[in-house]
């Protein structure tokens, strides 16, 4: 199996991240006005390219969003779902569907909300990995939306720990995205960084908008830390070391 950070990949984002097959917990921190969705979509692309399986829990974007982006990047999520290689859980849609039913996610018992969600995720992953021999990836985009449901930080930290413990199944890896716009988000993000094999931080430029650079990318592993800049295009991303943007974009 090719590692997500294998040098044979032509994906510039994954080449910068250098994720190894042994890196099974990946945390993505999205700071303030920055948008880290390109990290998620490029990881999805590589997961499906390697013919692995994917369980996507999306609080922030719809399946249609990921399908549209996937078409631009060269993959078809609808086909992946039809082939049994992907499952999607959209908790916010479930909440809307459950209004008035007094069951599942729409409950006053906030602790039970995260438990129900966790068991939904675990059930899907167990079914996807059972007797398949394939690696399964869980992607949650993004954890910070649990605050929108009135769930306390202690319960969100417990939820993150539940998900991290899923890697006790050697065929499961976990990718967690979190938007940081408050001190409560910061606590969750710090917890995710502590347990992650790879921590990816996406930030906007401190100097504001630039024609040459979209934002900053920091990749931290257990042993090192690297800084990059990136430029977003309609059909992809270019990454480069600080000061190399003009060379990469206009050579």
pLDDT at residue 251, rounded to an integer: 47
- Phi (first) and psi of residue 58, to 5 degrees: -115, 110
In a domain, 237, yes or no: no
Instruction: Please report which confidence band the pLDDT of residue 216 belongs to, taking 50, 70 and 90 as the band edges.
Output: very high
CATH of residue 183's domain is 3.40.50.300
Token pair belonging to 6: 């294998």
For the sheet containing 215-221, what is the strand order?
Answer: 86-89, 53-58, 136-141, 172-180, 25-31, 198-204, 215-221, 225-233, 236-240
Averaged over 76-88, what is the pLDDT?
95
Region for residue 170 given its phi and psi (left: phi exceeds 0; alpha: psi -120 to 50; beta: otherwise)? alpha
Instruction: Please report which confidence band the pLDDT of residue 202 belongs to, taking 50, 70 and 90 as the band edges.
Output: very high
In a domain, 157, yes or no: yes
Q: How many CB atoms lie within 10 A of CB 26?
A: 23
In a domain, 244, yes or no: no
Provide the whole-model pTM. 0.89
User: Closest Cα to residue 136, out of 167, 176, 159?
Assistant: 167
Q: Is the pLDDT confidence value at 109 over 80?
A: no
| Segment 223-244, tens digit of pLDDT | 899 998 888 776 677 888 777 6
Judged by DSSP in three states, 45 sits in helix
pLDDT at residue 1, rounded to an integer: 40
Higher pLDDT, 113 or 118: 118
pLDDT at residue 108, rounded to an integer: 67
Q: Is the pLDDT confidence value at 166 over 70?
A: yes
Q: How many domains does the chain fold into?
A: 1
In a domain, 197, yes or no: yes
Structural domain including 67 reads 22-204
Do strands 53-58 and 86-89 pair parallel, antiparallel, or not at all (unpaired)? parallel
């Amino acid at each position: 199996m090719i590692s997500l950070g294998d040098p044979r990949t032509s994906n510039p984002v994954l080449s910068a991240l250098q994720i190894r097959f042994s890196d099974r917990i990946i945390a993505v921190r999205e700071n303030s006005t920055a948008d880290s969705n390109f990290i998620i979509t490029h990881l999805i692309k590589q997961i499906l390219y390697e013919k692995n399986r994917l369980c996507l829990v999306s609080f922030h974007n719809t399946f249609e969003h990921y399908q549209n982006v996937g078409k631009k990047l060269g993959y078809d999520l609808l086909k992946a779902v039809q082939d049994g290689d992907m499952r999607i859980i959209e908790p916010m849609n479930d909440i809307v569907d459950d209004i008035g039913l007094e069951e599942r996610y729409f409950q006053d018992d906030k602790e039970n909300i995260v438990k129900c969600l966790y068991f939904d995720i675990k059930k899907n992953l167990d079914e996807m990995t059972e007797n398949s021999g394939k690696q399964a990836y869980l992607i949650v985009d993004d954890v910070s939306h649990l605050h929108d449901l009135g769930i306390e930080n202690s319960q969100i930290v417990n939820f993150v720990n539940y998900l991290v413990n899923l890697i006790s199944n050697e065929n499961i890896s976990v990718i967690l995205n979190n938007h940081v716009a408050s001190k409560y988000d910061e606590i969750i993000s710090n917890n995710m960084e502590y347990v992650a094999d790879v921590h990816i931080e996406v930030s906007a430029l401190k100097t504001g908008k630039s024609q040459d650079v979209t934002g900053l990318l920091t990749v931290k592993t257990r042993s090192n830390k690297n800084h990059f800049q990136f430029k977003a295009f309609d059909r992809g991303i270019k990454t480069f070391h600080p000061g190399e943007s003009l060379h990469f974009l206009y050579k």
